[in-house]
Structure 1
Amino acid sequence: MGLPTPTGAGHKREEEDEECENKGNEEEEDEENEEDEGKECEEIRKTKKTNKKIKMEKAKKKMKMKKRMKTK
């Protein structure tokens, strides 16, 4: 058995951080602009987290329905 691959929330967050850094490096006009970029990246992370939670809830409901169908 091999070790699990490094795919998870931490790995994805590193990729998002790199994307945010790249955006910041491309446009270094004002300090305010950099702050706006940071806020945008933070908002993106929050929406991704909420979307992930919604998907998990849907998956749980689906599993419960499958379990019910098996018991009947």
Structure 2
Amino acid sequence: MANALYAVVIDGNQWRISHNGQLFDRYPTEAAAVAAARTTAEAAVAAGFDTRVVVETANGGFRVEWNSADAAA
């Protein structure tokens, strides 16, 4: 199964979704961006992808917000 990663990243004072090296859309809050990324990730699961949504943290790292493998368990 192919993998798909959706990263919610801070861009100035807005949040964006990064996928395959491209930034998409702008959201006023982290929660709004995570909700949109998760909706997109769930659609990718339906298309046969193993997906993850990660969120950029204040220290420049990432935390896993949602993982299709965990959701299927």
Question: Which TM-score band applies after superposition, normalised by the shorter structure?
Answer: 0.3 to 0.5
Structure having greater relative contact order (Cα 8 Å, sep ≥ 6): 2
Structure in which a larger fraction of residues adopt helix:
1
Larger radius of gyration: 1
| TM-score (norm. length: structure 1) | 0.34
| TM-score (norm. length: structure 2) | 0.33
Structure in which a larger fraction of residues adopt strand:
2
